[in-house]
Structure 1
Amino acid sequence: MALIEVQNITKIFGKTPDKELAKVKNGMGKDQLLAETDHTLGLHDVSLSIEKGEIFVIMGLSGSGKSTLIRHFNRLIDPTDGHILVDGEDVMALSDKELEDFRRHRMSMVFQRFGLMPHRTVLQNVAYGLEVQGIAKADRETTAREWIETVGLGGFEHQYPSQLSGGMQQRVGLARALATDADILLMDEAFSALDPLIRSQMQDQLVELQEKLHKTIVFITHDLDEALRIGDKIAILKDGVLSQVGTPPEILLEPADDYVRAFVRDVNRARVLTVDTVMQPPAVRITHDNMEKALADMRRHDEDFGYVVEDKEFRGIVTQEGLAEEVAKPGDSPSLYAFADDSNAVELESTLEEALPTTLEADYPVPVVCEDGRLMGVLSPEEMGSVLTPPEEQTDADAEGAEEKAEKAETAKPHALKEAS
């Protein structure tokens, strides 16, 4: 079960939103509702699921409803219709006392304009949430110092917000939110007020922290590059309506409508997509140390290249031509593991931009390996090119070639994963 479930949330701003709800449910749009009733449709029938431990980005242009939506999570705004469940509990059903406790312990928020108290020091600002929780001064200051150190502000404990740069102030805001140890972190345009370089540094730090903390982070932004850089999942809103929810590769490669397609058109895909989105299984995976048998296997499958694996660990590439020459030499054949060439490989988490030089220089699909050396797949220039070219830029010839390729792939599907063992 998802940690956060948004179920059919509709929000109408105005004097009598409940009265106008039926019109929206019957299909009245945002412009017509405003013209006829002087009410504003902030969100319309939005549903989504947020898993525990993921960075979930909600993005859209100004007026799309993204900030309105995130404020429903901790009930800074109540919906006109719909429900929000957090860990199975209906937030809309909480009493005032329960809601106060929920905000103190379950969710923390980081604001666009930092939200720091100017008369309090860095230490006092970071410790504030713990003070509200009733934590003893010595304990809350110990915790606050740990988080100040974590976000790189050690030594600034007794400075005031006015003495810090914008990036440093936002680090204080982040430390304050993390200090309460809440399960869920809400970040509303948290980095948009920062200079580009500082913003990039904060994005990197958030991703690094998340790798250690595994919080559930709901992040609001209007910047697609930021969303693609930090998000595990992305939801795109337009005029209060949800256009698409998906992973960064899904958003880039499978836009749901023209609005999303326009959003992603100018994105540098090579810098965003990683090799795991386009790699394919190796045609021949050799899992033994016998050179003669490997050559026979490759000839039987009519493949020029084989990928040698020992206990799942990649050992290198062999060619049919090279094996034939070696087997033809007098005497015993050497170890296949020692003979295989392991000089060219790319890492699973590499971007396509990072992998491109190696892929273009190689005469064969380049092996893709993970951190522990296992062979995960192979990467070819053709597969890379197919995702780096936006659909609207592909020619009719490209499309025909893709259809022919698909037909061949369908015919060869039973043989797609040949394994020599």
Structure 2
Amino acid sequence: MAAVRDVTLDVREGEIFILMGLSGSGKSTLLRCLSRLIEPSAGAVMFDGVNLLDAAPQDLIEIRRHKMGMVFQHFALLPHLTVIDNVAFPLSLQRVGKSERMQRAQEVLELVGLKGKELRFPRQLSGGQQQRVGIARSLAANPELWFLDEPFSALDPLIRREMQVELQRLQSVLKKTIVFVTHDFDEAIRLADRIAIMKDGAVVQLGTPEDLVLNPATDYVAEFTGDVDRAKVVSAGRVMRPLSGVALAGEVNERDKIVAIAPRIIGAGQAFAVCNASGEALGEIDPETVLGILLERGSRQ
């Protein structure tokens, strides 16, 4: 059986695109095909209008050095180098002058919250701090496309959650295009703009977290989403009803998650308008709908 087969997808600029599935589903192999660390046997991998399968070796090296960043599950730090030298290492491969690369390394270390740790060695850092160094190193070259291959799975749950929050913070600042591999659906729905779920080397469903939770295409996808707290995933715009013309108690944004707006709507005991970013009312959402979503998870357990 092929490790990856018949996969066709696009990754949009500035989104967090997550590849997920059980161990052996092909997600990490697909990630490596996208960067040509593994050679696909057929098809095309298009990046900035260039088919990477046709790129000459030297051109591919330049693309990886200047336009791609990668963070692995295991931090792969150089133990004999200090933190700042680890971060500056990719820039030295680009033959960037020492003063410039140290300045850039300092900037990204501050960005990931490691100011003051520049002269420590990897062995002197916690697991979460080491992974931050790995993230800073991958950002040093200011890549357009950022590959993260289960970057937090080796961390304990508390640090893992902190790193997820850190990634969300970084993305709000940097707006990178990210392809992120995980087998953890809770992590996927927390981070993703869109998710591709893989099985036996194929993509079985691709969509937003809401798409996957509300409309699983197969039993396999339903298994991933079965224990998800829908209130944390479903937005007001997805479950609103047409405007009825009755008085409304207030308004919420169409992108607001049910868990965030439930106290207001249930507390008021009346429907709220669901508005877009311009303040235009698109529909309404009532307490009964909100309660139904809040209670649904418990009824399935």
Does TM, scored on the shorter chain, surpass 0.5? yes
1:79 aligned to 2:73? no
Contact 2:269-2:287 at 8 Å conserved across structures: no
* Counterpart Cα distance in 1 of 2:91 and 2:180: 23
After superposition, residues 227-242 of structure 1 pair within 5 angstroms as 227-242=188-203
3-state DSSP of counterpart to 1:218: strand
Q: 2:217 aligns with which of 256, 265, 285?
A: 256
* Counterpart Cα distance in 2 of 1:273 and 1:160: 44
- Offset, 1:175: 0.8
TM-score (norm 2): 0.92
* Counterpart Cα distance in 2 of 1:106 and 1:123: 21
- Offset, 1:214: 1.1
Match of 2:272 in 1: 366
- Offset, 1:351: 2.6
* Counterpart Cα distance in 2 of 1:80 and 1:109: 22
- Offset, 1:207: 1.2
Structure 1 runs of 4+ with >4 Å offset: 344-349, 368-377, 385-391
> Which moves more between the two structures, 46-55 or 267-276?
267-276
Q: 2:261 aligns with which of 335, 355, 364?
A: 355
Match of 1:277 in 2: 238
3-state DSSP of counterpart to 1:237: strand
- Offset, 1:376: 5.6
After superposition, residues 171-320 of structure 1 pair within 5 angstroms as 171-284=132-245, 303=246, 305=247, 307=248, 317=249
1:271-295 deviations in Å (ceiling 9; x for gaps): 22233332345333xxxxxxxxxxx
1:247-291 deviations in Å (ceiling 9; x for gaps): 01001101111100111011111122233332345333xxxxxxx
* Counterpart Cα distance in 2 of 1:245 and 1:46: 11
3-state DSSP of counterpart to 2:203: strand
Match of 2:287 in 1: 381
Opposite residue 381 of structure 1, the aligned amino acid is P
* Counterpart Cα distance in 2 of 1:153 and 1:281: 50
Distance 1:197 1:374, change over 3 A: farther
Match of 1:152 in 2: 113
Match of 1:6 in 2: none
- Offset, 1:83: 1.3
1:133-167 deviations in Å (ceiling 9; x for gaps): 11100001001101000100110000111000000
What's the C-alpha RMSD, in Å, of the aligned pairs? 2.2
> 5+ residue gaps in structure 1?
1-29, 31-40, 285-302, 308-316, 318-343, 395-421
Structure label with greater radius of gyration: 1
Q: 1:131 aligns with which of 70, 92, 103?
A: 92
Opposite residue 261 of structure 2, the aligned amino acid is A
Distance 1:250 1:387, change over 3 A: farther
Distance 1:388 1:257, change over 3 A: farther
Match of 2:16 in 1: 55
- Offset, 1:360: 1.9
Opposite residue 380 of structure 1, the aligned amino acid is D
Distance 1:47 1:388, change over 3 A: farther
Relative contact order, higher structure (CA 8 A, sep 6+): 2
Q: How many residues align?
A: 299
* Counterpart Cα distance in 2 of 1:348 and 1:164: 42
1:377-406 deviations in Å (ceiling 9; x for gaps): 432133335555769x79xxxxxxxxxxxx
> Which moves more between the two structures, 265-274 or 100-109?
265-274
Contact 2:270-2:287 at 8 Å conserved across structures: no
TM-score (norm 1): 0.67
Contact 1:52-1:216 at 8 Å conserved across structures: yes
* Counterpart Cα distance in 2 of 1:168 and 1:374: 45
Distance 1:387 1:48, change over 3 A: farther
Contact 2:266-2:290 at 8 Å conserved across structures: no
Q: 1:141 aligns with which of 89, 102, 112?
A: 102
Match of 2:3 in 1: 42
Distance 1:258 1:389, change over 3 A: farther
Opposite residue 121 of structure 1, the aligned amino acid is T
1:106 aligned to 2:36? no
> 5+ residue gaps in structure 2?
none
